[in-house]
C-alpha cells in the first residue's frame, strides 16, 4: 500500500471524526529526515478539541498502533511517523526485481487510444527547433501514457497543403533543377520558394499563376499532383533521416492534404447547424460566447479553405478512426489562439468530445540568449547539430573509456540523449537556451549524467556477478539507501503526475534525483565489501539501474550498459 495512505489510515482509526481525505491533505513531509518520513500537524484540531496542539498530539499518539512503524513520536504539535525501512525496502526491492522494466506499469488507460498530434513540419521548409520540441515532448508523453496503459497513436500532421504549393510549382517549372532538388531537397525547394516570393512582389502575375496551380492541385490535376507528391516525398526523405537519428516513429503521416476531400463535410455540417456567418465575403463561425474575440475563418471569399478547416476535419476523422480517450496537440504556444478556436467550433457543433482535446504548448528556444530568426541568420540546423552532439559525446568517451566496445553506438545514444534530455528536463512552458556544451556535459543535470550513473551501476553488478533473485529477501535500513527506496517507491506517482500535467520534466527531474541519490549512496557505502548486507546493497543497485533505465526510456533516451 502507498505509505501515505497507510499512515493516514492509522490516524483515521485514532481520530474517527477526521475524514481520510482530510488527513491525507494535512500530512506533511518534514523538512528534515530526523523528524521522520511524514508528520501530522495537530493545529487544525485545536479549535474543536479546545486544547493546545501539543496536548492533542500527545493524546492522539496514545491511540496509534505503531507496530508497522519504526517509530511514532509526538514532538510539540506534530506526530512524526518513521516508516519501517527494513520492511518497506524489502517490499519495494521485491517489486522491482519481479517486475523488471514493467515495474510501475499501470492500467489506468485500459487500452484506450490517445492521439498525439506531433512534430508536423512543413513540406519544403526547414525542420525547426519548435518541430524538434514537439517531436521530443510528444514522444515522451506517448511513452508515459503507454506505461499507464493507454495506446498512443503518433500522428505527424504534415504541413503539406496550401497556396504555397502553387508558388512552388510555378517556381520549379520556371527555374527548378531535378538533380539539385534530389541532392538537397529542402534547401533547394526553399530557395525556389524564396525566389518566387521575391519576384512576385515585382510581378503580381506570378501570384495569379500560383493561385491557378493551387486550384489545379485541389482539383486533382495530374501534373500538379505529381509535382506536389514529389516535393512531399523528397522532403520526407530528409525528415525521416532526422527521425531515424532521433529514434522516433509515427503511426500516421496524414497531413493537411489528407483532409482535402474531407472539408466539404465540415462546411456542410456547419451550414446545417446554422453556424456559418458571412463576413466580408468569407464564411466564419462567431465564437464570442466563448470569450473568443476573433471569429474562426472557415472559407475565404474565393472558396479556399484554411488551416483551421483542415484541423476541424482532422479532429473529426481522428475521433471516428481512433475513438480517442484523449487527443493531444503538442504545438508551440504561439498557436494557442488557434487551438482555442478549434475546440470552441467543435463544441458549437455539439461534439462534447472536444473536451478531451488538449493543446499542450511549449516555450521558445534561444541561441546565445537571442531569439532564433532565419532572417538574421540565428538558426539551428538540426542534422549537423545532432552530428555535433554525437561527436562531442564521442570525444568524452574517448577520454574516459578509450577501450569501450561499440563506441559509435554509445556516442550516438549519449549525444542524441543529451539533446532530448535537456529539452525535457525543464517545465515545457519555459524555453531554454540551446547550449550544446551544457547538454552533452557529464556533470550537472544532464542526460549523460543520468546515463553515466546507470552505466556505473551496471559495471558494479558485472563486477559482483550479481543476479537478483525473485524469491530472496533483500532489505536495508540506513539513511542513504532509504532516500533511494523512497524515490523508487514514488515512481508510479511520478508517472501519473507527468501524465496528468502533460509534463515530461517531472520524469526527467525524477531521473536526476534518483541518479544523485545513488551517487551519494555510492560515495558513502562500500557496496562490494563482504558483509551480510552485500546482496541487499547489490539488489538496491540493480533496482536503481532498472528504474533509471525505464525513466530514460520514457523520455526516449537510451541507457547504454557501458560508457
Chain positions contacting ligand ARG, by CB under 6 A? 117, 120-122, 157, 159, 311, 329, 331
Task: Give 336 or 409: the residue with its C-beta nearer to ligand ARG.
Answer: 336
Contacts of 296 (CB under 8 A, 6+ apart): 284, 285, 287, 308, 341, 342, 344, 345
* Cα(323)–Cα(167) distance, integer angstroms: 37
List Cβ<8 Å contacts ≥24 apart for 352-357: 353/319, 353/324, 354/315, 356/324, 356/325, 356/326, 356/327, 357/315, 357/326, 357/327, 357/328, 357/329
CB of 122 to ligand ARG, least distance (A): 5
What is the b/e burial string over 338-349, where b = at least 16 CB atoms within 10 angstroms of the residue's CB?
A: bbbbbbbbbbbb
* Cα(103)–Cα(90) distance, integer angstroms: 15
CB of 484 to ligand ARG, least distance (A): 41
Strand pairing of 113-117 and 326-330? parallel
Task: Give 126 or 492: the residue with its C-beta nearer to ligand ARG.
Answer: 126
Contacts of 250 (CB under 8 A, 6+ apart): 118, 119, 154, 155, 156, 243
Backbone angles phi, psi at 38, to 5 degrees: -145, 150
CB of 256 to ligand ARG, least distance (A): 8
CB of 124 to ligand ARG, least distance (A): 12
Task: Give 15 or 138: the residue with its C-beta nearer to ligand ARG.
Answer: 138
Task: Give 104 or 124: the residue with its C-beta nearer to ligand ARG.
Answer: 124
Query: Could you tell me where the DSSP H helices lie in 176-306?
Result: 178-183, 185-202, 205-218, 222-246, 263-272
CB of 129 to ligand ARG, least distance (A): 12
Residue among 489, 479, 480, 478 at smallest CA distance from 4? 489
Q: What is the DSSP string of 88-154?
A: HHHHHHHHHHHHGGGTT---SSTT-EEEEE---PBTTSPPPHHHHHHHHHHHHHHHHHHHTT-EEEE
* Cα(203)–Cα(348) distance, integer angstroms: 43
Task: Give 332 or 447: the residue with its C-beta nearer to ligand ARG.
Answer: 332
Task: Give 312 or 397: the residue with its C-beta nearer to ligand ARG.
Answer: 312
CB of 337 to ligand ARG, least distance (A): 12
CB of 332 to ligand ARG, least distance (A): 7
* Cα(333)–Cα(283) distance, integer angstroms: 26
Task: Give 162 or 556: the residue with its C-beta nearer to ligand ARG.
Answer: 162
CB of 376 to ligand ARG, least distance (A): 20
Task: Give 125 or 347: the residue with its C-beta nearer to ligand ARG.
Answer: 125
Angle at 554 between CA 92 and CA 3, to 5 degrees: 25
**Cα dihedral 35/38/40/41 (nearest 10):** 50
CB of 377 to ligand ARG, least distance (A): 21
Task: Give 24 or 372: the residue with its C-beta nearer to ligand ARG.
Answer: 372
CB of 121 to ligand ARG, least distance (A): 6
Task: Give 37 or 311: the residue with its C-beta nearer to ligand ARG.
Answer: 311
CB of 380 to ligand ARG, least distance (A): 15
Task: Give 327 or 396: the residue with its C-beta nearer to ligand ARG.
Answer: 327
* Cα(433)–Cα(449) distance, integer angstroms: 19
Task: Give 120 or 148: the residue with its C-beta nearer to ligand ARG.
Answer: 120
* Cα(102)–Cα(510) distance, integer angstroms: 17
Task: Give 121 or 417: the residue with its C-beta nearer to ligand ARG.
Answer: 121
Q: Are 356 and 324 in contact (CB under 8 A)?
A: yes
Query: Could you tell me where the DSSP H helices lie in 291-381?
Result: 307-322, 336-348
CB of 311 to ligand ARG, least distance (A): 5
Give the end-to-end CA distance of the chain in Å, rounded to a whole number. 37
- In the complex, residue closest to ligand ARG by CB: 159
| Residue where the block lists cell 483551421 | 308
* Cα(277)–Cα(337) distance, integer angstroms: 20
User: Over the Cα atoms of the chain, what is R_g?
Assistant: 29
CB of 170 to ligand ARG, least distance (A): 22
Q: Other C-beta atoms within 10 Å of 429: how many?
A: 12
Amino acid at each position: 500500500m502507498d505509505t501515505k495512505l497507510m499512515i493516514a489510515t492509522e490516524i483515521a482509526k485514532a481520530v474517527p471524526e477526521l475524514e481520510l481525505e482530510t488527513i491525507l491533505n494535512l500530512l506533511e513531509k518534514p523538512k528534515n529526515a530526523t523528524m521522520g518520513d511524514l508528520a501530522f500537524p495537530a493545529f487544525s484540531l485545536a479549535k474543536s478539541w479546545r486544547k493546545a496542539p501539543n496536548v492533542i498530539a500527545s493524546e492522539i499518539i496514545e491511540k496509534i498502533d505503531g507496530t508497522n512503524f519504526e517509530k511514532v513520536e509526538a514532538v510539540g504539535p506534530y506526530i512524526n511517523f518513521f516508516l519501517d525501512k527494513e520492511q518497506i525496502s524489502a517490499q519495494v526491492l521485491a517489486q522491482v526485481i519481479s517486475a523488471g522494466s514493467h515495474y510501475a506499469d499501470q492500467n489506468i488507460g485500459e487500452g484506450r487510444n490517445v492521439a498525439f498530434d506531433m512534430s508536423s513540419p512543413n513540406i519544403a521548409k526547414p525542420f525547426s527547433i519548435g518541430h524538434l520540441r514537439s517531436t521530443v515532448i510528444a514522444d515522451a508523453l506517448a511513452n508515459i501514457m503507454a506505461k499507464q496503459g493507454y495506446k498512443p497513436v503518433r500522428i505527424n500532421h504534415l504541413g503539406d497543403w496550401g497556396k504555397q504549393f502553387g508558388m512552388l510549382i510555378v517556381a520549379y517549372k520556371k527555374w527548378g533543377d531535378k538533380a539539385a532538388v534530389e541532392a538537397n531537397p529542402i534547401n533547394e525547394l526553399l530557395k525556389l520558394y524564396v525566389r518566387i516570393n521575391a519576384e512576385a512582389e515585382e510581378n503580381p502575375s506570378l501570384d495569379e499563376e500560383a493561385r491557378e496551380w493551387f486550384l489545379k492541385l485541389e482539383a486533382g490535376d495530374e501534373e500538379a499532383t505529381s509535382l506536389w507528391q514529389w516535393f512531399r516525398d523528397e522532403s520526407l526523405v530528409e525528415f525521416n533521416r532526422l527521425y531515424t537519428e532521433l529514434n522516433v516513429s509515427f503511426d500516421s503521416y496524414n497531413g493537411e492534404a489528407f483532409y482535402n476531400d474531407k472539408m466539404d463535410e465540415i462546411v456542410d455540417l456547419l451550414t446545417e447547424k446554422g453556424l456559418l456567418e458571412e463576413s466580408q465575403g468569407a464564411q466564419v463561425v462567431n465564437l464570442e460566447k466563448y470569450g473568443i474575440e476573433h471569429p474562426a475563418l472557415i472559407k475565404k471569399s474565393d472558396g479556399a479553405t484554411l488551416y483551421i478547416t483542415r484541423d476541424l476535419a482532422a479532429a473529426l476523422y481522428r475521433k471516428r478512426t481512433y475513438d480517442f480517450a484523449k487527443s493531444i496537440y503538442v504545438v508551440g504556444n504561439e498557436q494557442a489562439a488557434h487551438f482555442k478556436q478549434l475546440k470552441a467550433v467543435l463544441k458549437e457543433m455539439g461534439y462534447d468530445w472536444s473536451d478531451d482535446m488538449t493543446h499542450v504548448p511549449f516555450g521558445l528556444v534561444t541561441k546565445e540568449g537571442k531569439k532564433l530568426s532565419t532572417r538574421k541568420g540565428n538558426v539551428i540546423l538540426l542534422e549537423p547539430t545532432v552530428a555535433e552532439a554525437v561527436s562531442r559525446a564521442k570525444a568524452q568517451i574517448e577520454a574516459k573509456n578509450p577501450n569501450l566496445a561499440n563506441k559509435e553506438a554509445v556516442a550516438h545514444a549519449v549525444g542524441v540523449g543529451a539533446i532530448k534530455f535537456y529539452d525535457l528536463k525543464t517545465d515545457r512552458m519555459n524555453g531554454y537556451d540551446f547550449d550544446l556544451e551544457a547538454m552533452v556535459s557529464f556533470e550537472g543535470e544532464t542526460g549523460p549524467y543520468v546515463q553515466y550513473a546507470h552505466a556505473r551501476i551496471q559495471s558494479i553488478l558485472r563486477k559482483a556477478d550479481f543476479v537478483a533473485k525473485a524469491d530472496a529477501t533483500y532489505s536495508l535500513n540506513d539513511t542513504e539507501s532509504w532516500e533511494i527506496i523512497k524515490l523508487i517507491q514514488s515512481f508510479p506517482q511520478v508517472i501519473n503526475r507527468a501524465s496528468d500535467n502533460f509534463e515530461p520534466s517531472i520524469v526527467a527531474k525524477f531521473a536526476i534525483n534518483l541518479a544523485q541519490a545513488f551517487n551519494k549512496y555510492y560515495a558513502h557505502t562500500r557496496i562490494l565489501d563482504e558483509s551480510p548486507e552485500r546482496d541487499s546493497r547489490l539488489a538496491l543497485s540493480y533496482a536503481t539501474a532498472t528504474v533509471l533505465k525505464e525513466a530514460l526510456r520514457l523520455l526516449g533516451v537510451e541507457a547504454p550498459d557501458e560508457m
